[in-house]
Structure 1
């Protein structure tokens, strides 16, 4: 049985809109942006689906956490609308997408996502993490390129593994993971150049 649902109403313009919003989020770390051009695929949050619609295509290896792999609607729609593969090994994934339900049980150290290399630091994996909230929970202070002095964000309830990844941001630059946190239709990005402190 097909679970295909609609994606962008205007594929070209909606994709460009989302891409520009994501570019703003990555270039201005800690800035909340909203992606409101379509609903989520299956159990995926709307912003998660829109990140993939804007950024993934048939040459993009994706790694999905277990809840998404078991979600036929999410898998079918990602395949149909982007053409991307969803069974990439962690070290080969361009994007790794973590469902909020899976965050407490994932041991990120064992997954060995690609941190890039000195010749191609931009080939690192981008983690897309579904958060319980972007307006409550643990507070973090961000510093680095694209931030005037510093900014503060909240990222809901995080696992200790995700917390450790956050606090390691910026320390390996230019290597490291780019992080995109989503909640509902909201997105905040923390690129590998950003320094993070718990508050």
Structure 2
């Protein structure tokens, strides 16, 4: 019994308020790509998932949004924790997922393996939540477009080497 209670610890202490605050931070981040945001209300799981990724999952995942976990996270303790705190059900493949939680960028499937959505229904694509060790110190990526005044750069550590090429190909599909 003690082991199971440890696995379930670490969700939001005030789920309504904290999930709203995390969701608001996510919306701000999506409106301003390549800008770093702190998520002030973290979950603190005792399982191998980063606190920020856990907080994001607690804010956006529910029983209607299947989640795919990469190999590092596809363990019983993480499934139990996410199921308890979010009601998540789990996808068998990246293409079936509304959300994907990735702990190991090097082993991340190619973006085209995730649900792609369509021009009419872009919301049917997978949202990939990729745990990174830092936003500085990796290869620089430049961003331009809506939400960016001129040009923004970040240099994330932990992105798959092929990510920039895959991102450009994805963007070409949805100009």
- Fold match by TM threshold 0.5: yes
How many equivalent residue pairs? 170
> Is 1:147 equivalent to 2:152 in the alignment?
no
More strand, by proportion: 1
What are the equivalent positions in structure 2 for 1:1-199 lying under 5 Å apart?
1-2=3-4, 3-37=7-41, 38-70=43-75, 72-100=76-104, 103-108=105-110, 112-173=113-174
User: In structure 1, how many angstroms separate the alpha carbons of the residues matched to 2:173 and 2:45?
Assistant: 33
Of residues 53-62 and 115-124 in structure 1, the stretch that sits farther from structure 2 once superposed is 115-124
- Check conservation: 2:9, 2:45, Cα contact below 8 A: no
Distance 1:132 1:6, change over 3 A: closer
Give the CA deviation at 1:41.
4.9
Give the CA deviation at 1:130.
1.1
TM-score w.r.t. length of structure 2: 0.88
Q: Return structure 1 stretches of 4+ with deviation > 4 angstroms.
A: none
Which residues of structure 2 form unaligned runs of 5+? none
The CA RMSD over aligned residues, in Å, is 1.8
- Residues 117-153 of structure 1 show CA distances to partners (whole Å, capped at 9, x for unaligned) of 1321221111111112112211111011111111111
Distance 1:20 1:106, change over 3 A: closer
- Check conservation: 1:36, 1:46, Cα contact below 8 A: no
